[in-house]
């Protein structure tokens, strides 16, 4: 495993732009721990897709990238919304070669978040990688608790693999990327596909997984969860609320020690090459780095980078931190190295 650091931050003090984003996020609305179900639904509806004047913080979709909404469908006719980002179409020549494909899984604690909120990052990846990026509009809790979101992600990867010819992608060059709760779902997906491959099931195989400040261990109270209990951006009580909503209250609800909730507790041998990115001031930092170390011990090629001076969510607001776009450069380098 390679563990590196970036974004120096003097004296452990948050950069002023990060403090500003934290203040704005607190002003924007109450934390999820203070919301009832109606409040959660309202927060989803009021979420503003990235655009001016926020594009200086979030970035924007490159003009060369074509964005198309669609649906993935499984063998039983169940449909999952997707948003696809195809490079090099607007105002440029149509690509004739088969593209690699990255399935992106957005964050939001399995409760909030949307594909629209990730337009800038997904669009950037499509252009920089020369890849089709397929963002999963998975079902959200508490209306749809676990494992609904994971099932939706599995449906989308299967659909991409089966429809590769129609989509113009190479079915042998599929990667997955996700942040926060999306990193959790990406990790769960990688373990499931590994199991299917070992069982001889014909289906998609992942070339790479990229996990951005992933939530991978709901069981362990790590030092970073205790030290960053009051944030910034992400509060420990919010983590508890997100998990409670995701688990649900039914008799057959999954438990926190199930690997479909805590992939760090699953078997790690045979997973694809992995990039893990963590943030210095993030309660999820330690579990992400521990997961990377455990995968490395299991023989998985791993690169793990801690971004100093960064907070949870930095992938959504790279312009708020000095050097914040460098994590995207690393994403492209590592994903591209394995997808070719």
The Cα 33–Cα 304 span in angstroms is: 30
Confidence of residue 66 (pLDDT cuts 50, 70, 90): very high
* 8, pLDDT greater than 50: no
From 106, 208, 312, 327, active-site residue: 312
Q: Based on the residue annotation, tell me whether 338 is a catalytic residue of this protein.
A: no
Please state the length of the chain: 340
Spatial CB neighbours of 144, under 8 Å, sequence gap ≥ 6: none
Catalytic residue among 106, 179, 180, 286: 180
pLDDT at 7 over 70: no
66-73/79-86 β-pairing: antiparallel
The pTM for the full model equals: 0.93
Using CB atoms within 10 Å of the CB of residue 29, give its burial: 0 to 12 exposed, 13 to 18 middle, 19+ buried.
Answer: middle
Give the domain CATH number at 210. Answer: 3.40.50.1820
Percentage of residues in the chain with pLDDT exceeding 70? 87
Model confidence over 295-317: pLDDT tens digits? Answer: 999 999 999 999 988 889 999 88
Give the active site residue among 208, 282, 286, 338.
282
Task: Determine the number of helices (DSSP H) and then strands (DSSP E) in the chain.
Answer: 11, 9
Q: How many CA atoms are closer than 13 Å to the CA of 163, on its beta-carbon side?
A: 16
Q: What is the mean pLDDT of residues 94-100?
A: 78
- What are the C-alpha distances in Å from 244 to residues 136, 168, 200, 206, 240? 22, 40, 35, 30, 6
Query: What total of structural domains would you count in the chain?
Result: 1
Give the domain range for residue 118: 2-339
What confidence tier does 22 reach under pLDDT thresholds 50, 70, 90?
A: confident
Of the pLDDT bands very low, low, confident and very high (cuts 50, 70, 90), residue 276 is very high
120, burial (CB in 10 Å: exposed 0-12, middle 13-18, buried 19+):
buried
pLDDT in tens, 215-258: 999 999 999 999 998 878 899 999 999 999 999 999 999 999 99
Q: Is pLDDT at 287 greater than 80 in this prediction?
A: yes
**Looking at residue 320, what is its pLDDT?**
75
Q: Is the pLDDT of residue 100 over 90?
A: yes
Residue 9 pLDDT class (50, 70, 90 cuts)? very low
Closest CA to 208 of 131, 264, 144: 131
282 is catalytic: yes
Digit-coded pLDDT (tens) for 140-157: 999 999 999 999 999 999
pLDDT for 134 equals 99
């Amino acid at each position: 495993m390679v563990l590196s650091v970036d974004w120096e931050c003097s004296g452990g003090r948050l950069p002023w732009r990060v403090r500003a984003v934290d203040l704005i996020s607190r002003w924007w609305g109450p934390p999820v721990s203070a919301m009832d179900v109606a409040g959660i639904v309202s927060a989803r509806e009021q979420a503003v897709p990235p655009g001016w004047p926020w594009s200086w913080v979030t970035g924007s979709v490159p003009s060369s990238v074509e964005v198309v909404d669609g649906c993935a469908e499984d063998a039983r006719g169940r449909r999952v919304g997707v948003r696809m980002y195809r490079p090099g179409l607007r105002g440029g020549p149509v690509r004739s070669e088969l593209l690699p494909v990255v399935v992106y899984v957005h964050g939001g604690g399995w409760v909030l978040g949307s594909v629209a909120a990730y337009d800038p990052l997904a669009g950037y990846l499509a252009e920089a990688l020369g890849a089709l990026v397929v963002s999963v509009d998975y079902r959200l809790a508490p209306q749809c608790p676990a494992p609904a979101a994971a099932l939706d992600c599995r449906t989308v990867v299967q659909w991409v693999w089966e429809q590769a010819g129609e989509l113009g992608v190479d079915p042998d060059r599929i990667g997955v990327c996700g942040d926060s709760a999306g990193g959790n779902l990406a990790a769960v997906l990688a373990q499931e596909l590994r199991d299917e491959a070992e069982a001889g099931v014909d289906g998609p195989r992942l070339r790479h997984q990229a996990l951005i400040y992933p939530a991978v261990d709901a069981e362990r109270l790590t030092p970073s969860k205790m030290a960053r209990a009051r944030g910034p951006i992400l509060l420990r009580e919010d983590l508890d609320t997100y998990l409670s909503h995701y688990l649900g209250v039914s008799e057959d609800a999954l438990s926190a020690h199930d690997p479909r909730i805590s992939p760090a507790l699953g078997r790690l041998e045979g997973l694809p090459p992995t990039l893990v990115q963590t943030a210095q001031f993030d309660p999820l930092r330690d579990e992400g780095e521990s997961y990377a170390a455990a995968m490395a011990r299991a023989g998985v090629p791993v690169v793990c980078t801690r971004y100093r001076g960064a907070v949870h969510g930095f992938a959504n607001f790279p312009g708020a931190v000095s050097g914040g776009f460098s994590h995207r450069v690393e994403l492209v380098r590592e994903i591209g190295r394995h997808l070719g």
